[in-house]
Amino acid sequence: MQEPLEIPIRIVLTETSHPGNIGASARAMKTMGVSELVLVAPKEFPSAAATARAAGADDLLAAARTVTTLAEAISDCAYVVGASARLRSLQWPTTEPRTCAQRLWEHLPAGPVAVVFGPEHSGLTNDDLARCHELVHIPANPAYSSLNLAMAVQVICYELRMAHPGSLAAGTAAVDEDREAPLATADELEAFHVHLEQVMFRSGFLNPDQPRQLKLRLRRLFNRARLDQTEINILRGILAAVDPDKPAGGRR
């Protein structure tokens, strides 16, 4: 018999409407060796329908953490991927599940990593998207590309299993091997973006009536840079220094 394979990658389901989909997602995860489930504001949970559809994966449901915002679900994460059924008006870096699964494994040494799934009816919002380093899209019939939530979870967890480092080709180095400082967490990035927006606003650069795309574009830019903690500190130091409303005495 094979050794059980533990896949320490977090699955986050946001605002799921049907508890049955939560149960079916837990089952999909457990079959692939993925166990960490976080639920953001589920409509109904715990629920008998979830337990019934989990079919023996109810241990995952019992251990699931329920939170009220996506920010809480990923606050400690070094890398976050959003699963999206459709292409967006603002292009966000998007991969297919196989490449995405490899990247998730590669980022794991830097801190927790997560895959975020949207609600059944509407998918991920732009605010959710802004918190994702990249999106994963399961290639599908372009005229009918939206999978059932739990089936999308199944495909991603399967690819995570297949991309387990033990099965990667030799010589595929982890991307973070030569980093001097740990990657910034989602919380640290969020604090930086809040700070950046404040300074852009106070300096008159950001017009509050301007389309929100500017903020999204900046988030896309800094996500692409994969900032580490030293870099975040430098950027925040610069923001503090140029802030027109900075407290007397300079840096804060």
- Give yes or no for residue 240 binding ligand SAH (CB under 6 A): no
Residues 143-172 within binding reach of ligand SAH (CB under 6 A): 145-147, 149, 152
Dihedral, CA of residue 47, residue 49, residue 51 and residue 54, to nearest 10: -140
With contact defined as beta carbons under 8 Å apart, do 26 and 153 qualify? no
Of 45 and 214, the one with the shorter C-beta distance to ligand SAH is 45
The beta strand positions in 15-141, using DSSP E, are: 37-40, 65-67, 79-83, 94-95, 113-117, 134-136
- Give yes or no for residue 84 binding ligand SAH (CB under 6 A): yes
Of 77 and 149, the one with the shorter C-beta distance to ligand SAH is 149
Q: For the chain, first and last CA: distance in Å?
A: 58
Q: What one-letter code names the amino acid at 143?
A: A
Q: How far is the CB of 145 from ligand SAH (least distance, A)?
A: 5
Size, binding site for ligand SAH by CB under 6 A: 20
Q: How far is the CB of 97 from ligand SAH (least distance, A)?
A: 8
Beta 94-95 vs 65-67: how paired, if at all? unpaired
- How far is residue 40's CA from residue 19's CA, in Å, rounded to a whole number? 13
Angle at 76 (CA atoms; ends 133, 53), nearest 5 degrees: 85
Q: How far is the CB of 76 from ligand SAH (least distance, A)?
A: 21
Of 81 and 227, the one with the shorter C-beta distance to ligand SAH is 81
Q: Would you give the binding string for ligand SAH spanning residues 122-141, x where CB under 6 A is met?
A: xxx-----------xxx-x-
Q: Which stretch binds ligand SAH (CB under 6 A): 31-39, 54-62, 80-88, 175-183?
A: 80-88
Among 41, 49, 67, 85, interactor with ligand SAH by CB under 6 A:
85
Of 84 and 239, the one with the shorter C-beta distance to ligand SAH is 84
Query: Which residue in the block uniquely carries the two structure tokens 């830019």?
Result: 221
- How far is residue 129's CA from residue 84's CA, in Å, rounded to a whole number? 9
- Give yes or no for residue 197 binding ligand SAH (CB under 6 A): no
Contacts (Cβ under 8 Å, ≥6 apart) of 51: 23, 58, 61
Q: What one-letter code names the amino acid at 113?
A: V
Which parts of this chain interact with ligand SAH (CB under 6 A)? Answer: 83-86, 117-118, 120-124, 136-138, 140, 145-147, 149, 152
